[in-house]
Amino acid sequence: MRSLLFVPGDSERKLEKARTSGADVLLIDLEDSVAGDAKAAARVVASDFLKEDSNSGGPELYVRINALDTGLTDDDLASVMKSRPAGIMLPKSNSSRDVDLLSAKLNVHEAENAIAEGATKVIAIITETAAGLLAAPTYDRPHPRLSGLTWGAEDLSADIGARTARDDRGCYTDVFRMARAVTILAARAATTTAIDTVFVNFRDTDGLRAECLEAERDGYTAKMAIHPAQVPVINEAFTPSPEAVDRAKAIVGAFAKAGNPGVVGMDGEMLDRPHLLRAANLLARANAAGLTG
Ligand code: COA
Ligand code: MG
């Protein structure tokens, strides 16, 4: 999973376009991009799209439901779970207990719809409120449903009363840098995918590319998109390059050839277990992206 494209759940036209966007995952949105009076209609459009699309071999389909405290969650789930989405995105997750609560609800919907228990994955957005950001350490163990953790800047700015999330030079200010950093740590602690947040200036391809490269450098392995034009940029940035794959193979090979010791030398450089782990992770990502491992 490299790219996850948001699509407003009430837009048949955008849903149709998204199908061929090249995104690894579509995030069919019932939350912020859908107005209050369009929620009910969006549930129907989203469910129909999910039904049509099952077994198509295209992107994985997730639904972003409304937050647990909105009173909309149960109707969202009742509607879309009949159409068997691959996963649910939980916004404004205020601690790992919210993931547990959603998971309990999913158990019921899975039972009602003859879906195998636990088959529906969950991606949680963990920094959209101050409380959520401060609770990032609660994602401290693997959860069988979690397929990723991500963060959000827009709702967090609103919650803390920040006028903007970025300074005059376009860099995130401290609170948002903290959110970005703790999401990487929480995702690692929960052994799941770290997914970087959206880049909202969808015409600024260079800005997006730069942000992708920084995210990849820092440990993110995927990024959300809001516009189809962002998908190829994200896919390219998060697909390991042929050089990186060759080097990872050489590292794994060097350890194997030496009988799997703690440390080896390669091209005059010391390599120990963290290098081996990093190489193995990169090869796993290359495999997932369809490159030969
Ligand atoms: N998914 C699928 N198709 C999309 C799309 C998306 N996220 N965003 C744009 N498109 C389509 C448009 O419908 C348009 O197709 P058309 O010409 O056949 O109608 C084409 O791509 C070009 O769109 P463009 O004119 O460049 O943008 P726009 O002004 O129509 O839309 C946004 C801009 C921001 C409203 C739109 O990109 C969008 O809805 N993004 C998702 C928003 C969202 O889900 N937010 C919640 C998470 S933060
Ligand atoms: Mg939001």
Ligand 1, pocket-test mutation among 4, 13, 15, 17, most atoms within 8 A of CB: 17
Taking the centre of ligand 2 as the mean of its atom positions, its distance from the CA of residue 156, in whole angstroms, is 9
Taking the centre of ligand 2 as the mean of its atom positions, its distance from the CA of residue 33, in whole angstroms, is 8
Which atom of ligand 1 lies closest to the CA of 32?
Answer: 46
Residue nearest to atom 46 of ligand 1 (CA): 33
DSSP annotation of 172 reads B
pLDDT of residue 57: 74
Q: Which fold has domain 3-237?
A: TIM Barrel (3.20.20)
Question: Which ligand has the shortest distance to the CA of 200?
Answer: 1
CA dihedral angle for residue 10, residue 16, residue 20, residue 21, rounded to 10 degrees: -30
pTM: 0.93
Q: Pinpoint the alpha helices (H) of 190-288.
A: 205-218, 231-238, 242-257, 273-288
155 lines ligand 1 (CB under 6 A): no
Strand locations in the chain (E): 3-8, 25-29, 60-64, 87-90, 121-125, 146-150, 194-196, 222-225, 263-266, 269-272
228 lines ligand 1 (CB under 6 A): yes
Distance CA(148)–CA(285), nearest Å, equals 14
End-to-end CA gap in the chain: 16
Residue nearest to atom 32 of ligand 1 (CA): 227
Taking the centre of ligand 2 as the mean of its atom positions, its distance from the CA of residue 128, in whole angstroms, is 7
The two three-digit tokens of residue 153, written as one number: 């800047």
The answer to whether 206 and 165 have CB atoms below 8 angstroms apart is no
pLDDT of residue 293: 45
pLDDT of residue 55: 57
Domain ranges for the chain: 3-237, 242-288
Backbone phi and psi for residue 140, each to the nearest 5 degrees, phi listed first: -115, 10
Q: What angle do CA 29, 231, 193 make, to 5 degrees?
A: 70
The answer to whether 100 and 67 have CB atoms below 8 angstroms apart is no
Question: Which ligand has the shortest distance to the CA of 10?
Answer: 1
Q: Nearest Cα to 124, choosing from 82, 101, 144, 96? A: 96
List per-block mean pLDDT (blocks of 10 residues) for the chain, which spans 293 residues. Answer: 97 95 97 97 97 78 98 98 97 98 98 97 98 97 97 96 95 97 98 97 97 97 98 96 94 94 92 93 89 61
Residue nearest to atom 3 of ligand 1 (CA): 14
**β-strand 263-266 against 269-272: which pairing, if any?**
antiparallel
Q: Residue for token digits 């189809």?
A: 228
The distance from CA 200 to its chain's CA centroid, rounded to whole angstroms, is 16
